[in-house]
């Protein structure tokens, strides 16, 4: 991304001034007009859009709702399909004439058609990949208005989850000289990496749109994570008229700061293009100096073997929908890292630029995935409609856009593709897509996730990618490794356990669905292919050559309310059989970002810092004297449970087993003896339960849960007291319903009303309840299992945001966030 220069904006009118020699990228998110319906003639400059809604991007129109049974619960029960129009007026100064003016859309959902001044510029159907168009010849440079119009037409039955709708990622106006660096034109690799030396190779593509050859100097400067110049080099090239040329250079960086999961060191590359001694373009990139390798023995980062403690993540951010805010992705990924996650699978589409930037910054490994479907349909109007025409362009653009991110370690060409069953043609398509990736980036391996057994292996499909991803076949890891020893293997989707935060159904039993439309948090329920996390832990241990796992999923997401509503991969449409169930139960974390109990089960396996977790809550009025199963998730050696101060005995992790009711595809038996959880059955009596964890015989920590009294107050806790006054930054406020002593009331459903004053606004509310039809954009929310969430967004004015939360008959609460 080039340096962004100053732009003066007013309502619906942007004046763009142009430096005579330098290029500039202008964030084009403010002051758009929006209309959510067909609008004949809306592409024309003369069209009257004065009654349309005025808004700033990013924007997801579908998240505004309302929820309705007329929409597909499989896609969140929200109105994501239909037609949406966006228009923006702006002026171009005369100094921009003769330059190259491009408009870049980082994501438009979907089937985007673009007009400038009434002239059709182009179409891009895939909503998950960015694109740009040269609009130079469509513009007026005389000070009169230019109009860009965008029409989007998301289709019903086009997705298996909530895709969102609208211009949900940023838009940029890019003004360049005729000679400039191509979009995503700097390709940086590090072929040699050691503590003493890092070789940085840079292949920068320079475009010349003029009718004359251009002799230019391409200078590469590399800056350390501390901002110090680490190396530089110049290269003189001639770019012929109406052509492009690659400047290929390498430099040696002494004693480099190596990027890894613990110390994610980010370097900056500044590329300048000069002609006749004057700089005519500047292009900034970030990268990491690191080395990756794969074999049938595992994955290696900088020579060190690393197992994937991974999660699959869909792209929505709960109540914000698909609209991209960097802070939302940052918070999501920070929560995942605190669970012990070191790897992310972007299921099942290319993520946003911001998402990958955060992964770079946090040291998270990324499996970057292109498609959920190829030519054979899963739903009638899915990407299959566009695959034959657009697959090559889309997957190459994904790789070209993302290849400088050090976090990315694999390119995935698809997920559970139906072509895996096609003996004649499937393997050919798999090879074709893999080759497309390698044409653009030969430094990373390709993969795909396969759910069928054993067809893709027998039919030569799995062998077309460098690494085979296995979905939900833990009992077959050993067989696949022994039968196909040349394949490098990992669990690309695992477990698919489901639960609702804070909900516990007694007695413990394995059911398909429950009348409450919730799922117990004892962490054993899932669809027919699914199994508790413990089973995956066991088979990963039994098969050390498996590179690790990516659980389905890290966070709950909108849509796919399995086990309710329908059957996965069904092409018959709607999943409304258990309405209002309309969002995922799969997450280890709910839609709000509040951890479920399963979060701590993974944390107990994936982290080393002593931790301990206890469940369930201890409010069971009417069940006095009845046995309550109590579970403990810990990485301590031993744990001791106390009920009202009386010891219920110590349990040793790995020795004292917990029997789980288990039945899933390709598993013999109906139970599993888990060494990963400790458990007791104790008669209920009000008061408290406490668990104490021991390491090497010494007490290291404890966790206590008290029986809560009546709800007495609202409690607020904000994730950050200070945020940026940029109109984009977010503060997340956790809302708890507590008794007079500060204990969470685990069954509370009190309605909380919010009011906001000052330099910001309320942009989202949620409670993680998969069957709630409350608006995400209201100024109120009921608590679910005692909690809900409010999200604040800054304005562009420094000051303070004051959030007040009130609930009938409860003590209210106030939190203040400063914006700078």
Contact 561, 585 (CB under 8 A): yes
Whether residues 576 and 630 fall in one domain: no
Q: What is the DSSP letter of 173?
A: E
Tell me whether residue 3 is in a domain. Answer: no
pLDDT band at 350 (very low <50, low <70, confident <90, very high): very high
User: What is the structure's pLDDT at 571?
Assistant: 53
Q: Which residues make beta-bridge pairs with 403? A: none
Whether residues 631 and 508 fall in one domain: no
Whether residues 746 and 789 fall in one domain: yes
Mean pLDDT of the 693-707 span: 97
The count of structural domains within the chain is 5
Residues annotated as part of the active site? 416, 493
Burial classification of residue 660, based on how many CB atoms lie within 10 Å of its CB (0-12 exposed, 13-18 middle, 19 or more buried): buried
Residue 18 clears pLDDT 60, i.e. is over it: no
Contact 588, 102 (CB under 8 A): no
Whether residues 671 and 645 fall in one domain: yes
Tokens of 158: 């086009």
Whether residues 479 and 592 fall in one domain: yes
User: What is the structure's pLDDT at 8?
Assistant: 30
- Residues in the chain, total: 820
3-state DSSP helix/strand/coil percent for the chain, to nearest 5? 15, 40, 45
Q: Which residues of 539-563 are buried (b: 16+ CB within 10 A; e: fewer)?
A: bbeebebbbbbbbbbbbbbbbbbbb
Tell me whether residue 297 is in a domain. Answer: no
User: What is the structure's pLDDT at 20?
Assistant: 40
Whether residues 422 and 351 fall in one domain: yes
What span, in angstroms and rounded, lies between the C-alpha atoms of 599 and 591?
Answer: 13
Q: Provide the CATH number for the domain around residue 684.
A: 2.60.40.10
User: What is the structure's pLDDT at 246?
Assistant: 98
User: What is the structure's pLDDT at 23?
Assistant: 62
Q: How would you classify the pairing of strands 343-345 and 365-369?
A: parallel
Q: How would you classify the pairing of strands 146-152 and 112-116?
A: antiparallel
Q: Provide the CATH number for the domain around residue 525.
A: 3.20.20.80
Q: How far is CA 743 from CA 220, 345, 710, 717, 737, in A?
A: 58, 37, 10, 14, 8
- If one counts every other C-beta atom within 10 angstroms of the C-beta of residue 236, the result is 10
Whether residues 551 and 632 fall in one domain: no
Q: What is the pLDDT of residues 755-786, one digit of tens each?
A: 999 999 999 999 999 999 999 999 999 999 99
521 backbone φψ class: left, alpha, beta (φ>0; ψ -120 to 50): alpha
Of 156, 176, 196, the residue at which a domain comes to its end is 176
Tokens of 509: 């039993």
Residue 355 clears pLDDT 60, i.e. is over it: yes
Whether residues 449 and 595 fall in one domain: yes
Of 550, 582, 606, the residue at which a domain comes to its end is 606
- If one counts every other C-beta atom within 10 angstroms of the C-beta of residue 322, the result is 27
Tell me whether residue 459 is in a domain. Answer: yes
Whether residues 336 and 477 fall in one domain: yes
Q: What is the pLDDT of residues 660-697, one digit of tens each?
A: 999 888 888 889 999 999 999 999 999 999 999 999 99
Q: How would you classify the pairing of strands 722-723 and 813-819?
A: parallel
User: What is the structure's pLDDT at 387?
Assistant: 98
Tell me whether residue 650 is in a domain. Answer: yes
Q: What is the pLDDT of residues 628-656, one digit of tens each?
A: 999 999 999 999 999 999 999 999 999 99
Tokens of 15: 């004046």
Q: What is the pLDDT of residues 70-111, one digit of tens each?
A: 999 999 999 999 999 999 999 999 999 999 999 999 999 999
* Residue 738, domain extent: 713-819
Tell me whether residue 116 is in a domain. Answer: yes
Percent of the chain with pLDDT over 90: 95
Tell me whether residue 298 is in a domain. Answer: no
Name every residue whose Cβ is closer than 8 Å to that of residue 183 and which is 6 or more positions away in sequence.
102, 104, 132
Tokens of 704: 């206590």
Q: What is the pLDDT of residues 234-290, one digit of tens each?
A: 999 999 999 999 999 999 999 999 999 999 999 999 999 999 999 999 999 999 999
User: What is the structure's pLDDT at 7?
Assistant: 33
User: What is the structure's pLDDT at 570?
Assistant: 57
**Between 596 and 572, whose confidence is greater?**
596
Whether residues 440 and 483 fall in one domain: yes
Q: What is the pLDDT of residues 533-576, one digit of tens each?
A: 999 999 999 999 999 999 999 999 999 999 999 876 555 678 99
What span, in angstroms and rounded, lies between the C-alpha atoms of 88 and 90?
Answer: 7
Tokens of 5: 């220069």
Whether residues 42 and 150 fall in one domain: yes
Tell me whether residue 295 is in a domain. Answer: no
User: What is the structure's pLDDT at 775?
Assistant: 98
Q: What is the pLDDT of residues 459-496, one digit of tens each?
A: 999 999 999 999 999 999 999 999 999 999 999 999 99
Of 547, 572, 606, the residue at which a domain comes to its end is 606
Q: What is the pLDDT of residues 195-220, one digit of tens each?
A: 999 999 999 999 999 999 999 999 99
- For 599-662, give the secondary structure using H, E and C: HHHHHHHHCCCCCEEEECCCCCCCCCCCEEEEEEEECCCEEEEEECCEEEEEEECCCCCEEEEC
Whether residues 163 and 247 fall in one domain: no
The whole-chain average pLDDT of the chain stands at 95
pTM of the model: 0.96
Q: Provide the CATH number for the domain around residue 170.
A: 2.60.120.260
Mean pLDDT of the 30-36 span: 98
Tell me whether residue 323 is in a domain. Answer: yes
What span, in angstroms and rounded, lies between the C-alpha atoms of 671 and 766?
Answer: 36
């Amino acid at each position: 991304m080039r340096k962004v220069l100053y732009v003066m904006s007013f309502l619906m009118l942007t004046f763009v001034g142009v430096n005579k020699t330098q290029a500039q990228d202008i964030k084009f998110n403010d002051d758009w007009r929006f209309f959510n319906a067909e609008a004949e003639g809306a592409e024309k400059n003369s069209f009257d859009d004065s009654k349309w809604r005025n808004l700033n991007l990013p924007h997801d129109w579908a998240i505004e709702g309302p929820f309705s049974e007329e929409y597909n619960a499989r896609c969140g029960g929200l109105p994501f399909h239909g037609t949406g129009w966006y228009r923006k007026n702006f002026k171009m100064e005369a100094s921009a004439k003769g330059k190259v003016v491009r408009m870049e859309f980082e994501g438009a959902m979907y089937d985007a058609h673009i007009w400038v001044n009434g002239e059709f510029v182009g179409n891009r159907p895939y909503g998950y990949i960015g694109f740009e168009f040269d609009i130079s010849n469509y513009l007026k440079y005389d000070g009169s208005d230019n109009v860009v119009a965008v029409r989007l037409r998301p289709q019903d039955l086009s997705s298996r989850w909530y895709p969102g709708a609208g211009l949900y990622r940023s838009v940029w106006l890019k003004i360049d000289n005729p000679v400039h660096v191509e979009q995503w034109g700097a390709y940086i690799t590090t072929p040699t990496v050691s503590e003493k030396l890092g070789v940085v190779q840079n292949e920068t593509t320079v475009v010349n749109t003029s009718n004359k050859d251009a002799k230019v100097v391409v200078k590469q400067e590399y800056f350390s994570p501390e901002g110090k110049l680490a190396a530089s080099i110049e290269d003189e090239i001639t770019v012929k008229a109406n052509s492009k040329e690659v400047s290929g250079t390498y430099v040696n960086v002494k004693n480099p700061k190596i990027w890894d999961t613990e110390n994610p060191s980010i370097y900056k590359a500044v590329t300048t293009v000069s002609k006749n001694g004057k700089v005519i373009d500047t292009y900034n990139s970030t990268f990491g100096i690191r080395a990756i390798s794969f074999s049938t023995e595992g994955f290696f980062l900088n020579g060190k073997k690393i197992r994937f403690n991974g999660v699959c993540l869909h792209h929505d951010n709960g109540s914000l929908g698909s609209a991209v805010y960097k802070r939302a992705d940052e918070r999501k990924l920070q929560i995942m890292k605190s669970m012990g996650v070191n790897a992310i699978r972007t299921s099942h589409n290319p993520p946003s630029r911001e998402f990958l930037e955060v992964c770079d910054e946090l040291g998270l490994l990324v499996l970057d995935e292109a498609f959920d479907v190829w030519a054979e349909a899963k739903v009638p109007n899915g990407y299959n409609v566009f695959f034959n025409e657009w697959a090559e362009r889309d997957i190459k653009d994904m790789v070209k856009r993302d290849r400088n991110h050090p976090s990315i370690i694999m390119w995935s060409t698809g997920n559970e593709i139906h072509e895996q069953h096609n003996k004649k043609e499937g393997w050919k398509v798999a090879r074709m897509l893999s080759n497309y990736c390698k044409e653009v980036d030969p430094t990373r391996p390709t993969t795909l996730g396969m759910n069928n057994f054993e067809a893709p292996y027998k039919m030569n499909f799995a062998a077309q990618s460098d690494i085979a991803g296995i979905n939900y076949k833990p009992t077959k890891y050993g067989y696949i490794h022994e039968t196909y020893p040349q394949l490098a293997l990992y669990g690309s989707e695992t477990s698919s356990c489901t639960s609702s935060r804070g909900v516990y159904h007694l007695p413990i039993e394995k059911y398909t669905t429950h009348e409450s439309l919730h799922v117990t948090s004892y962490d054993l329920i899932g669809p027919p292919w699914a199994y508790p996390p413990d089973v995956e832990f066991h088979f990963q241990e039994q098969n050390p050559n498996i590179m690790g796992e990516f659980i389905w999923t890290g966070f709950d997401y909108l849509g796919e309310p399995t086990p309710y509503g329908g059957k996965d991969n069904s092409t018959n449409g709607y999943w409304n059989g258990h309405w209002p169930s309309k969002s995922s139960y799969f997450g280890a974390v709910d839609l709000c970002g509040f951890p479920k109990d399963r979060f701590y089960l993974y944390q107990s396996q994936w982290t080393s810092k002593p931790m301990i977790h206890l469940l369930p809550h201890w409010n069971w009025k009417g069940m006095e004297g009845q046995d309550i199963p109590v579970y403990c998730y810990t990485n301590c050696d031993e744990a001791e449970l106390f009920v009202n101060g009386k010891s219920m005995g110590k349990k040793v992790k790995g020795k004292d087993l917990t029997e789980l009711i288990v039945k899933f595809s390709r598993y013999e038996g109906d139970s599993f003896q888990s060494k990963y959880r400790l458990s007791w059955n104790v008669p209920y009596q009000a008061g408290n339960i406490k668990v104490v964890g021991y390491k090497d015989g010494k007490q290291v920590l404890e966790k206590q849960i008290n029986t809560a009294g009546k709800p007495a107050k609202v409690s607020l806790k904000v994730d950050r007291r200070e945020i940026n006054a940029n109109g984009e930054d977010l503060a997340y406020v956790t809302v708890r319903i507590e008794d007079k002593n500060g204990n969470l009331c685990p069954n509370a459903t009190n309605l909380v009303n919010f009011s906001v004053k000052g330099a910001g606004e309320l942009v989202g509310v949620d409670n993680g309840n998969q069957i709630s039809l409350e608006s995400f954009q209201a100024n109120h929310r009921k608590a679910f299992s005692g909690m809900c969430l409010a999200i604040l967004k800054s304005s562009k004015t420094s000051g303070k945001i004051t959030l007040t939360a009130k609930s009938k008959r409860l003590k209210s609460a106030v939190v203040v966030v400063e914006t700078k």
